Copies of this chain bind each other. A is one copy, B any other.
């Protein structure tokens, strides 16, 4: 298999919402209350919503910047690569990276769409959220048929509204919804309650994947107040093992036999250990913990329901036979700082090389197509969907890393989570 012949579909990228996203989509009453970009005197761009300057314009939108400037969010749209927020430039950036398809998580809205729950008038919150989803499907994904896998955000404050919105979005061809890896940490009932049943029922009925992105509990792993930020970055993906355990032991998978969740950006190399462990715990402890999986093991239940996702994971490839091979997905993570853009195909080939071609096809695109009901080949013939073909359309795209002269930490020694938090706080003044 040659790099040029790969067909790459990424189930984890990120959109930075453009300033005009709500234009023409709202009633006068809601338009007045919609989030809007303000440029501060310092030249910084912030979203204003409900009297609050929102802490990120880009949530780490650093693609294309020199590595010395990773870690801090850009201060203004002008410091971002246009592909972060402009769909035409995004497609060019996908082409130059050889990526055919992409599923985009929100930035402004929050991983669980929780922004809109802060609106005191619930009906306005819902109108804003639906406008957001319509913009995402119609404008962001609709501009280039076959290139984007749509993903909706849920009205987290009401499980019945969530169900309605899942069904409405499925009617528009959107079969993925983003939610929280641990809703209790956001102040809502946990996976162990029956609170989310209407929502989960709608997802099961419509074949909608519930995407749980790392960090979507709004909690990061801080081992110690003076721990270098590298500690947190190292731990964040694998930390979703907490969500995996929570879900398998919860009633969710037993109550909804066809529900599927994705552990977005969670990596996969740790999964076989986890599956062995959870089976050991079940067999060793069920006599007193009163757990019952009938004729199945917890590992089987995981493999039936959980879609796994990774950016760069040679170990995961080595141990993939312990996972459900139809549930493994590749990711690019554009434009976040863990992204492999614009060398994603070359880096992917490092660990795909030597795998059976059928395995490579499943991991790089066929599983994403099947599990997200995404059919790029209805619009783009396979021979025009390869890394080589897409890159041939993008020979004029400049990928040279750019410095914006801000965000460097080089005079501060080791960067801790606290250093970063202080910088982010300053960046919104």
Contact = CB atoms under 8 A, between A and B. Distances in A.
Contact of A230 (B230, B249, B314, B337): B249
Contacts of A184: 223-225
B273 A313 contact: yes
A198 interface: no
Given A245-B231, A249-B227, A312 B280 contact: yes
Nearest to A66: B287
A221 B282 CA distance: 17
Interface of A: 66-72, 182, 184, 190-193, 221, 223-231, 233-235, 237-238, 241-243, 245-246, 249-250, 267-270, 272-278, 280-282, 284-291, 312-316, 318-319, 322, 337-338, 407-410, 412-415
A314 B414 contact: no
With most chain B CB atoms within 10 A of its CB, the pick from A228, A233, A234, A246 is: A234
A68 B268 CA distance: 34
Contacts of A224: 182, 184, 190-192, 246
- The quantity of this chain's copies bound in the complex is 2
A268 to B, nearest CB: 8
A288 B409 contact: yes
A268 B315 CA distance: 13
B68 A285 contact: no
A343 to B, nearest CB: 12
A288 B70 contact: yes
Contacts of A70: 285, 287-288
